[in-house]
């Protein structure tokens, strides 16, 4: 996911400032099933620090051990890990381990892509067998440019090629800045999302009030810039003011976020929809149906932290097109 690569690049920049080498490990293939799927990555720093993960925590020590030779000679290698006997999983994972030395041009383009919410594509050449090979490694394509992550020349035809498209970081915009918004912000950040909090003009808040937030602005529905809303954006309307919620919903009627949630009971939602139709009789039925209110899944939430969990869970179920069900009732793979 884009947010994982974002953390990896950030960690690499800090390591480079300290003159520490970095090695990238990528799960590029899988036979059977595993805790995590191809496309997950972790960065190993020369001092032993690891950023990200390629499993639930059981494979990382072996990756760290295998990475030492790459630190020494810079030659990329393939590692396999058979979880059938060691983890109880039913699969074998194939991990590409390569030095991570992207050029400064890549860093500049990548940071720009994050700001502009542009997608990118990663292509990893690999061989499905343990060993050290000279023609394996990863490339990133973005904005019409192609960058090697390890300095590998893109000339050899790969035996295997893993291609991953990364969409912009998922974003949550919270219209409201009360205590429950703080809890939702914390949990969304922990999930790996970018979070923007929008407080009212009369009670402005700062980003220091919302741990994990990418930004915090004070605005009204009449002055807010909605152009940043895209298909990778979820919205929660939770101002604790009926009139303000109504204004935000009216302003949002012409946009199509991935998720639109409304805090409050069923009666409030019905009243708001009635007012919406009164203000704009031509408002689309599709927009009305897209409002998830009351927001969240029925998990017996009581506290603001638990309500935040139920909202995050519902957002995930909507954007992943999943019907929530207890995993013990599910057949086949338990995770997508």
**pLDDT given at position 333:** 67
Which pair of tokens denotes residue 211? 């741990």
Cα gap 1→192, rounded to integer Å: 9
**pLDDT given at position 37:** 84
Could you say which DSSP state residue 209 is in? G
Torsion region of 332: left, alpha or beta (phi above 0 gives left; psi -120 to 50 gives alpha):
left
C-beta of residue 173 within 8 angstroms of C-beta of residue 199: no
**324: β partners:** none
List of the chain residues with pLDDT < 70: 33-35, 83-90, 155-156, 158, 332-336
**pLDDT given at position 84:** 60
Q: Phi/psi of residue 67, each to 5°?
A: -70, -20
Q: Which of 234, 235, 236, 222 is nearest to 178 (CA)?
A: 236
Cα gap 64→268, rounded to integer Å: 54
Q: In b/e form, how buried is each residue of 302-327, taking b as 16+ CB within 10 angstroms?
A: eeeeebbbbbbbbbbebeeeeeeeee
**pLDDT given at position 335:** 60
**pLDDT given at position 252:** 96
Domains and CATH numbers, the chain: 2-166 (no CATH), 171-319 (3.40.50.720)
Work out the mean pLDDT of the chain and round it to a whole number. Answer: 91
**45: β partners:** 22
pLDDT tens for each residue of 13-71: 999 999 999 999 999 999 876 667 899 999 999 999 999 988 877 788 899 999 999 99
Which pair of tokens denotes residue 66? 């295998």
C-beta of residue 108 within 8 angstroms of C-beta of residue 84: no
Question: Hey, is 181 helix, strand or coil?
Answer: helix
Strands (E), 90-223: 92-99, 120-126, 131-132, 137-142, 145-148, 160-166, 171-175, 194-199, 215-218
Question: Hey, is 25 helix, strand or coil?
Answer: strand
**pLDDT given at position 187:** 97
């Amino acid at each position: 996911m884009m947010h994982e690569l974002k953390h990896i690049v950030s960690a690499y920049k800090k390591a480079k400032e300290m003159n520490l080498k970095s090695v990238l490990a990528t799960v590029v293939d899988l036979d059977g099933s595993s805790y995590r799927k191809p496309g997950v990555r972790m960065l190993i720093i020369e001092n032993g620090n690891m950023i990200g993960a390629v499993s639930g925590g059981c494979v990382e020590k072996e990756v760290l051990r295998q990475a030492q030779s790459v630190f020494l000679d810079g030659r990329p290698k393939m590692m396999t890990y058979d979880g059938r006997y060691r983890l109880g999983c039913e699969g074998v994972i194939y991990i590409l381990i390569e030095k991570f030395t992207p050029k400064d041009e890549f860093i500049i383009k990548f940071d720009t892509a994050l700001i502009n919410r542009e997608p990118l594509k990663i292509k990893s050449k690999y061989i499905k067998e343990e060993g050290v090979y000279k023609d394996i490694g990863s490339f990133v394509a973005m904005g019409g440019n192609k960058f090697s992550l390890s300095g590998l020349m893109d000339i050899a035809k790969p035996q295997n090629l893993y291609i991953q498209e990364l969409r912009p970081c998922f974003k949550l915009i919270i219209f409201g800045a009360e205590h429950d918004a703080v809890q939702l912000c914390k949990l969304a950040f922990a999930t790996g999302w970018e979070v923007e909090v929008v407080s009212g003009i009369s009670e402005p808040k700062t980003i220091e009030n919302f741990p994990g937030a990418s930004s915090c602005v004070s605005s009204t529905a009449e002055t807010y810039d909605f152009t940043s809303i895209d298909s990778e954006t979820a919205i929660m309307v939770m101002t604790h003011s009926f009139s303000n919620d109504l204004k935000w919903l009216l302003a949002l009627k012409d946009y199509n976020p991935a998720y639109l949630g409304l805090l409050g009971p069923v009666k409030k939602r019905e009243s708001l929809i009635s007012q919406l139709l009164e203000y704009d009789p031509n408002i689309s039925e599709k927009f009305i149906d897209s409002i998830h209110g009351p927001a969240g899944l029925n998990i017996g939430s009581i506290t603001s932290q638990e309500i935040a969990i139920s909202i995050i869970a519902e957002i995930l179920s909507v954007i992943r097109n999943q019907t929530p069900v207890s995993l013990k009732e599910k057949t086949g793979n338990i995770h997508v």
